[in-house]
Structure 1
Amino acid sequence: MTLPATPLPRIALVLLALLGGLAALYAGGAFAQVEGDRGIAPLMASTDINVGGIEVNVTADTAEEARQTAWKEAQRKAWEKLGGPDISDGQLMGLVSAIVIQHEEAGPRRYVATLGVAFDRQKAAGYLGRSGETRRSAPMLLLPVTLSAGSELMYQQVNPWQRAWAEYQPGASRIDYVRPTGAGGESLLLTYGQTGRRSRNWWATILDQFGAADVLVPIAEIDYSFPGGPVTGRFTARHGPDNEYLGSFTLRAKSPRELPAMLERAVARFDEMFVEALAEGTIKPDPTLSRGSGMMDSQIARLIEQSRAILARAEAARNAATQTQEEEDVADANTAQAGAAAGGEGASVINLFINFPTPDAAAFDAGLAAVRGTPGVRGASVSSTAIGGTSVMSVSYAGTLDELVGAIASRGYNVQRAGTNLTISR
C-alpha cells in the first residue's frame, strides 16, 4: 500500500522562499538608506587669504578683453578691501593665487560678474604684516541643519545649505572646520536628532570618528513665501553637545534664484559669529568630550586625589583604633592570667559574643559604649556591623557570666542568654 506524500517538505520550501524574499527586501531597504546623491565633497581648504563678493561690470572691444580687465579690477578691489598698501599691477598679480567665479554673465563686449580673489598668504604677509597671520581654533565638526516646510535636513540628501558650506573656502578663517561629505553611512550617523543628544560618550564617539574636538551647528530655517516669490532665511548658530546658543540673524532673497547668493552671505556671517565667539572664549573644546587623549581635567584630577587622601586617612585611623583595642584586650588577658598564676584573688576572664540591635548609627554607638563602660569589661571590639539589623561585639569580662548579665541589666538593658553568648536590647 502506498502512503500519501506529506505536505511538510513543500511547506518548508515555501517558508524558506518567503524568508529569502524578506531578507532581500531588508537588505535592499538598508542599502537604499545610504545610496543616492547625498554627498557633497567640500572644497580643499587652503591657507590663502580669500576675499569674495567683488562685483565688476566692464565693457571692452572684445569679450576676452572685458574679462581680463574685470579680473584686474577685482584684484585691485580685493586688495583695497584687505587694506593693503599701494603696489603696482605687476606686484599685485604676483600675489594672486586664484580667481573664483561666483557668478558671471559674459556678452560680446561686456563682462558682468561677482568674483572672489585668493591671495597667497606667504607672499601677501610681507605687505599685510601680522594681519595675514591667524591662530586657529581646535577642529570643529560642522553640522549644517536646514529647516523647511516642517522637515529637518542635514546630510540625508543634497541641499543648498550643505552645498554653501561645502563650497566655502575657510582658509582665512580662525575656525578649523571639519566638514563631512555626507556620503554613505555619514547620512545615517549625522542627523538633526543628534544635535539634541546630551550623552558625552555618544558625542565623543562621533567626534573621534571625524577627528574633531567639538561641534558647531549652523541652522538655516528657509521660508518660501510662494512659488517663485521671496525667500526668507532665519539663521541660528549653536555650539557644543549642550546646543549652546551663540546668536541669530535674518536674510531675505527676492526669489529662489537668489537663494545661493543669500546662503553664501549667511555662511560668511556665521564665520564672523564663530570667530567672535572664539575671541570671547565661548568656543573652546569641552573637557568632558576629550576621552581619547588620555588627559584629565586638572580640577577633576585634584578632586580625585583629595578623595583618595581622605579615604587613606580614614583607613589608617580605623586600623590604628583596631590595633589599639586588640593590644588592650591582650594586656587585660595577660594581667588576669598573671594574677591567677600568682595565686592571688584576681577573677578569671571569660570571652563571649554579645548581639545588640542597631537600627541606626546612634544605636550602634550607644550599645558599644554601654558595654565598654560596664564594670569588669576588659575589652569590647566589633565583630560584625549591620546598621538596620543586629550587630555583634566580642567581649572580654573579668568575672562570671551571671555577674556580667547583672552588670549589663543594671545599665537599663534587657539581657537574654543563648548558651555562652548574650543578646541585649533596650
Structure 2
Amino acid sequence: MAITISSKNPRPARMGLALKRSAGKAALWWCGAACLAVGAITGGQILAQIEGDRGIAPLANSQDIQVNGITVDVTAKTGAEARIAGWKQAQKEAWKKLGGPDMPIESIDAMVSSVVIGREQIGPKRYIATVGVIFDKAKAGQYVGAGAGTGPRSAPLLLIPVLDSGGVRQVFEVRGPWQRAWAEFQASSSPVDYVRPTGSGGESLILTAGQASRRSRLWWRSVLGQFNASDVVMPVARLERQWPGGPIKATFTARHGPDNTFLGSFTMQAATEEELPRMLEQAVVRVDGMYRDALSSGALDPDPSINAGGVALDRAFAELREKLMPKGDVSPPAAAPQPATEQTESAAPVIAEAVSVQFASPDAASVDSALAAVRGVPGAQGAAAVSLAIGGTSVMRVMMVGGGERLAAALRAQGWKVSGGGSALRISR
C-alpha cells in the first residue's frame, strides 16, 4: 500500500520539527539581540561614568598669601579716587584678617602684590566692590601666614570633598559647588598639606562618596599610593533648600582618616542661590581652621595602620601557606627552617626603605612592565608611579625591605640594567 505525502499537507511530526527549529532560531536571535543590547547599555554606562567635564582643576598653590571676600563701600570726590580709597581699605582689612601687627597703610601697600576684583560698581562719587588681596610671601611672610608661625606642617593629606544635596551624595560625579570652593581655596598659607585631585578620568570612579565608609587599610593604602598621600581628610557639606531659589541651610562637617573620624561641625545659611558660592568659600576657611586645630592637637597624624596593612597581609599569607602545606611525609630538616625564620623575623624585624626608581616609558606597556617587575620582587611594598611621562622618563616609588641594593640585585636577576644605588635607581632593558 503506497502512501503519498503532499507538500501542502506535511506530516504532523515534521511540522513539529519545523516549528521547533523555527522557535529555536527565533530564541537564538532574541538572545543575541538581548546580549548586544545589554553590552551596549553596560558599555555606555561605563563610558558615561568617566567621560565629560567632571573635575575642576585646583588653583596652583603660589607662595603668596591671599585673602578673599573683602567688601568695601567708599565715597570720594570722584569715582577713581573712591576706587583707590576702597582698595586701600580692603588692604587694611585683609591685613587685619591675617592677624598682622599694626602698621601704616603705606607699609601694608608695599607688601601687596595684586588686588583681585570679584564684583565692583563704580559711580560718580562712590565705589562698591568685593575684592581679594594678595600679599607677597617674601615680604609679608615674616609677619603672617604659615612662615610666621612655629607650628608643624601636616603630612600630605588626600582631600575628598563630599557634597550631600537633594538626597544625593557626590564628589566628582558632576562639577559641584563644594568641590569648586576647595579647588579655588588658596592653600599655600595653611599648614595642612592638601592633596587635591582634579576628579577627571578614572579619579571619579575611585574617589566617590562611598569611599569614605570603607575601612579596609589595604584598599586605602592602594588609593593613597596613587596620589602620593599619607592619609585622608573628608570635608562634608550638606545643603538643604527650603524652596527653589529660597534660603539654603548648610551643615559642614570635618572628618579625617580611614575610620571617618568626626572632628567638628557647624551650620551656615545663604539667603539665595547667588549667595551660595560666597557661603561655601567662607565654610572652606572655617573647615581649614578645624583641620589646623586638629593638627596642633595631634589629631591629624597619619593612621599607622594604613602602612601596617602590608605587614599584616604578609603575615596572613604566611599563616595560610603554613596551613595549606602538606604535612604528611615531610622530612624534619626541610620543615625545621620555617620556625627559625619566623623567630628571626620576630626578633629582628627588617625595616622597609623608600626607593625611587627611574625608568624609560615610551608607551603605556613599558610602564606596566616596569611596575610589574618591581612589584614582583620579594619584599617590595606599595610600588606606584609618582611621575608619568609617556615618551620620556617616569618615576616610581617603592618601599623595599632590605633597601635599594636588594632591589637592584633582584632586578638584575630579571634581566634589567640597573644604575645608581642607595635610594635612587635607574633601570632599563
1:290 equivalenced with 2:307 (yes/no): yes
- Work out the CA distance in 1 between the residues paired with 2:195 and 2:83: 35
Q: Give secondary structure in 2 for the equivalent of 1:270.
A: helix
- Work out the CA distance in 1 between the residues paired with 2:180 and 2:148: 29
- Work out the CA distance in 2 between the residues paired with 1:37 and 1:128: 37
The structure 2 residue matched to 1:181, chosen from 194, 198, 211, is 198
The C-alpha deviation readout for 1:125-174, integer Å capped at 9, x for no partner, is 34559636653211111111111221111111011111111111111111
- Work out the CA distance in 2 between the residues paired with 1:185 and 1:221: 25
- Work out the CA distance in 1 between the residues paired with 2:167 and 2:271: 22
1:100 equivalenced with 2:135 (yes/no): no
1:281 equivalenced with 2:316 (yes/no): no
**Change in CA separation of 1:16 and 1:264 when aligned onto 2, cut-off 3 Å:** same
Contact 1:124 1:132 in 2 (8 A): no
Q: Give secondary structure in 1 for the equivalent of 2:233.
A: strand
The count of corresponding residues between Structure 1 and Structure 2 is 297
- Work out the CA distance in 2 between the residues paired with 1:282 and 1:35: 38
What is the deviation of 1:112? 1.4
The C-alpha deviation readout for 1:286-307, integer Å capped at 9, x for no partner, is 112236999xxxxxxxxxx9x8
**Change in CA separation of 1:292 and 1:121 when aligned onto 2, cut-off 3 Å:** farther
The structure 1 residue matched to 2:343, chosen from 305, 308, 332, is 308
1:40 equivalenced with 2:56 (yes/no): yes
The C-alpha deviation readout for 1:80-121, integer Å capped at 9, x for no partner, is 3332342452x4333112323344334454321222222122
**Change in CA separation of 1:309 and 1:127 when aligned onto 2, cut-off 3 Å:** closer
Greater CA drift, 37-46 or 63-72? 63-72
- Work out the CA distance in 1 between the residues paired with 2:224 and 2:232: 8
- Work out the CA distance in 2 between the residues paired with 1:293 and 1:71: 55
What is the deviation of 1:214? 0.6
- Work out the CA distance in 2 between the residues paired with 1:250 and 1:271: 15
1:116 equivalenced with 2:116 (yes/no): no
Contact 1:56 1:113 in 2 (8 A): yes
What is the deviation of 1:17? 7.8
Match for residue 247 of structure 2?
230
Larger Rg: 1
What is the deviation of 1:48? 2.1
What is the deviation of 1:56? 0.8
The C-alpha deviation readout for 1:169-219, integer Å capped at 9, x for no partner, is 111111111111111111111111110000001111111111111111111
The structure 2 residue matched to 1:213, chosen from 230, 239, 254, is 230
Q: Give secondary structure in 2 for the equivalent of 1:112.
A: strand
1:138 equivalenced with 2:155 (yes/no): yes
| Aligned partner letter, 1:125 | G
Contact 2:152 2:296 in 1 (8 A): no
| Aligned partner letter, 1:198 | R
**Change in CA separation of 1:67 and 1:193 when aligned onto 2, cut-off 3 Å:** same
What is the deviation of 1:47? 2.7
Contact 1:125 1:133 in 2 (8 A): no
Contact 2:294 2:300 in 1 (8 A): yes
**Change in CA separation of 1:16 and 1:62 when aligned onto 2, cut-off 3 Å:** farther
Match for residue 188 of structure 2?
171
Contact 1:125 1:132 in 2 (8 A): no
- Work out the CA distance in 1 between the residues paired with 2:268 and 2:290: 15
- Work out the CA distance in 2 between the residues paired with 1:197 and 1:156: 18
What is the deviation of 1:262? 1.1
1:250 equivalenced with 2:267 (yes/no): yes
Match for residue 220 of structure 2?
203
Q: Which residues in structure 2 correspond to 1:17-416 (within 5 Å)? A: 23-60=39-76, 62-81=78-97, 82-87=99-104, 89=106, 91-127=107-143, 131=148, 135-290=152-307, 308=343
Q: Give secondary structure in 1 for the equivalent of 2:50.
A: coil
The C-alpha deviation readout for 1:236-261, integer Å capped at 9, x for no partner, is 11110001110111111112221111
- Work out the CA distance in 2 between the residues paired with 1:293 and 1:202: 11
**Change in CA separation of 1:254 and 1:58 when aligned onto 2, cut-off 3 Å:** same
**Change in CA separation of 1:185 and 1:309 when aligned onto 2, cut-off 3 Å:** closer
What is the deviation of 1:235? 1.2
**Change in CA separation of 1:25 and 1:64 when aligned onto 2, cut-off 3 Å:** farther
What is the deviation of 1:63? 4.3
The C-alpha deviation readout for 1:42-82, integer Å capped at 9, x for no partner, is 11112322333322112345544433332122112222333
Contact 1:49 1:132 in 2 (8 A): no
What is the deviation of 1:21? 6.2
**Change in CA separation of 1:216 and 1:12 when aligned onto 2, cut-off 3 Å:** same
- Work out the CA distance in 1 between the residues paired with 2:218 and 2:241: 38
* TM-score normalised to structure 2 length: 0.61
Structure 2 residues not aligned, in runs of 5+: 1-20, 312-339, 348-429
Contact 1:121 1:132 in 2 (8 A): no
Contact 2:100 2:143 in 1 (8 A): no
- Work out the CA distance in 2 between the residues paired with 1:18 and 1:228: 44
Contact 1:141 1:215 in 2 (8 A): yes
**Change in CA separation of 1:83 and 1:230 when aligned onto 2, cut-off 3 Å:** same
